[in-house]
Structure 1
Amino acid sequence: MRLSFAKPTALRKKGVLCMNKRNIDYIGRCNPRKFYKRVDDKLTTKQLAIANDIAVPALIGVVREQHEIEEIPEMVLREDGFVIKPSKGSGGKGILVITKVEEGRYYKPNGQEVVPSEVYRHVSNILSGLFSLGGSPDVAIVEGLIQFDPVFDGYSYEGVPDIRLIVYKGFPVMGMLRLSTAASDGKANLHQGAVGVGVDIGTGKGLHAVQFDTPVDLHPDTNKILTDIQVPHWDFLLHTASKAYEMCEMGYLGTDMVLDKVKGPLLLELNARPGLAIQIANNRGILPYLNHVDSLGNHNMTVDERVEYAKKHFAHSAQL
């Protein structure tokens, strides 16, 4: 089934969630506006996660004012690498990844040198709101570099893969692994050319893969078979996603997580407006799962119970 080019009537029959319905029936109905800062502001998300015993990438520092930019070299002096990102950014914009620090010189994953003046200019742009939602002034977060888990060797190009889970009323209902490519410039961003691999909620096994909304069998840069992927720590990832629902009190939520080879699963960020391409990656619509959760009414399930329920009822082999 090609979800991206099908007629609207065919999409509805396949249970595909469209943007208008997502915005009105799920985001608008389930995500209270007063809680948006918990997910739109990455610094707030990080602080909430730490308070709720959810592991996140290490916070090296925060730059709030233009005059603080010159403190960055001292801030990262003892780091092997670091990431600078806007606190209120979206779509992966404004993220600068430095994988090597050597005698005051900074290097990107592709080996390109970034001189300090370029780092300063980038942070200045973040503070001015160039990458923030609505263009409002922002702060820059300086985080520790995530150590790539070797389990994904050959499945990603120059970047760290991340795991997106859609959580509805506390139930993880659909999952996807995002793999960077040369086309995406080492970023796990589907719109820029990363590969999306649908992942079975029941097992963590790869199901189906797409790049630019087109099915692919092999990673375009490494020729690895994408459906051979088995995501480790799968139960832990599901539990973290379900726990994030209670932390931010958003009924329809996207959770983005990564695997660090030393620290294990880490929560990267949350999204109150998760995209729809996860359905293409899974080659199926998400609506049947959302309807199923609604049919449960007001449940009192714990995180453990919701995860076990999801693994049983939302697995690829399950019949709704």
Structure 2
Amino acid sequence: MPWISPRALNRLGMLNMNRRNVDYIARYNERSAYPLVDNKLKTKLVVADYGVRTPKLLQVVTQQHEISHFREMAADLSGFAIKPAKGSGGKGITVIIGRDGEEYVKASGARVNSAYLQRHLTNILAGLYSLGGAPDVAIVESLIQPHPGLARYSHQGVPDIRIIIFKGYPVMAMLRLATTASDGKANLHQGAIGVGLDIGTGRSLNAVQFNRPVILHPDNGLALENLHIADWPEMLEMAARCYEATGLGYIGVDLVVDAQEGPMLLELNARPGLAIQMANGRGLLPRLRTIEQLKRPHFSPRERADFAREAFANL
């Protein structure tokens, strides 16, 4: 990324990490609510009461002796995802997309047996992937079948949409596409592509990889312009509902579009990163200030989503 002077960054309205931590995360996020978003199982349970769909929960493994039941639970399943409840950054997530006899086929194409998956469950319970190494719980979810219109742009991994919600209002969004460099994961720091999305329409604005502009996906050669997210108003409203569900004022909401179920929540993040600004080619600060200066805030998630689509369209 070329060097940009602090003055130029200020002119673009870029939010830096110190200001994010002090003026927004510390100010608007009650620490007592963090367990709701730092634990994927708790997140699933709390958002269900607010009409936010998540992948179907197939099994919860809390103790070592329960792992023996995993094989019989998964006997008739062709696909599923195993996740640590307290994992971060995609660590410890294993996605199975099919079966080949007694073996399970991972998203990468690698084949593993039941013993491999049971060892993985043991590692999750031991806290290998959890924040601070604390003992954890493993959850097994139904496999997401990504919308084919988006799946074709992502290399192996499921594409997802990150929406920043501030005081219940969607303020910025991006589509994240997996690449070979990111090992099939939608993680920008590992080399996934971030595609900025117009809040008003859900159409692509700009795309970056490793904070550098890109026009084509490096693995499949597809152009990243003129992308459009289906069900965009519904996705914004769903993300806005997570404000009521958690009480957190500044959060990242990660959604996917399932081919059958439509928009679903993957997870929430109480400390969302700032690379979304590079993907959009513009800063968060002007939008955050617009919300802070509202004299009469909107009370329903739909009203807040509608306001954001109008206020931040093409900005």
1:177 Cα deviation from its structure 2 partner: 0.2
Partner of 1:177: 175
Worse-superposed segment, 286-295 or 308-317: 308-317
Alpha-carbon displacement from aligned partner over 1:122-146 (angstroms, at most 9, x marks no partner): 2111111111112211101100100
1:300 Cα deviation from its structure 2 partner: 4.2
Q: What is the number of equivalent residue pairs in this alignment?
A: 315
Partner of 1:197: 195
Pairwise mapping of residues 24-39 of structure 1 onto structure 2 (< 5 A)? Answer: 24-39=22-37
Pick from 90, 102, 107: which aligns with 2:88?
90
Alpha-carbon displacement from aligned partner over 1:156-202 (angstroms, at most 9, x marks no partner): 11111000000000100000000011111111111111110000000
Partner of 2:252: 254
Partner of 1:232: 230
Partner of 2:118: 120
Matched, 1:272 2:243: no
Worse-superposed segment, 244-253 or 124-133: 124-133
Partner of 2:136: 138
Report the CA distance shift for 1:297/1:114 in structure 2 as closer, same or farther (over 3 A).
farther
1:298 Cα deviation from its structure 2 partner: 5.7
1:70 Cα deviation from its structure 2 partner: 2.1
Report the CA distance shift for 1:240/1:100 in structure 2 as closer, same or farther (over 3 A).
same
RMSD value, Cα: 1.3
Separation (CA, whole Å) in 1 of partners of 2:257 and 2:298: 30
* Secondary structure class of the residue paired with 1:5: coil
Separation (CA, whole Å) in 2 of partners of 1:7 and 1:137: 44
Separation (CA, whole Å) in 1 of partners of 2:81 and 2:116: 14
Separation (CA, whole Å) in 2 of partners of 1:71 and 1:277: 41
Gaps of 5+ in 2: none
1:297 Cα deviation from its structure 2 partner: 4.4
Separation (CA, whole Å) in 1 of partners of 2:68 and 2:103: 15
Separation (CA, whole Å) in 2 of partners of 1:5 and 1:109: 37
> Does the 8 A contact of 1:73 with 1:104 survive in 2?
no
TM-score by length of 1: 0.95
Worse-superposed segment, 266-275 or 301-310: 301-310
Partner of 2:54: 56
Separation (CA, whole Å) in 2 of partners of 1:249 and 1:75: 35
Alpha-carbon displacement from aligned partner over 1:91-117 (angstroms, at most 9, x marks no partner): 111100110124331111222101222
Gaps of 5+ in 1: none
Identity of aligned residues (%): 52
Partner of 1:188: 186
TM-score by length of 2: 0.97
* Secondary structure class of the residue paired with 1:227: coil
Report the CA distance shift for 1:8/1:122 in structure 2 as closer, same or farther (over 3 A).
farther
> Does the 8 A contact of 2:151 with 2:158 survive in 1?
no
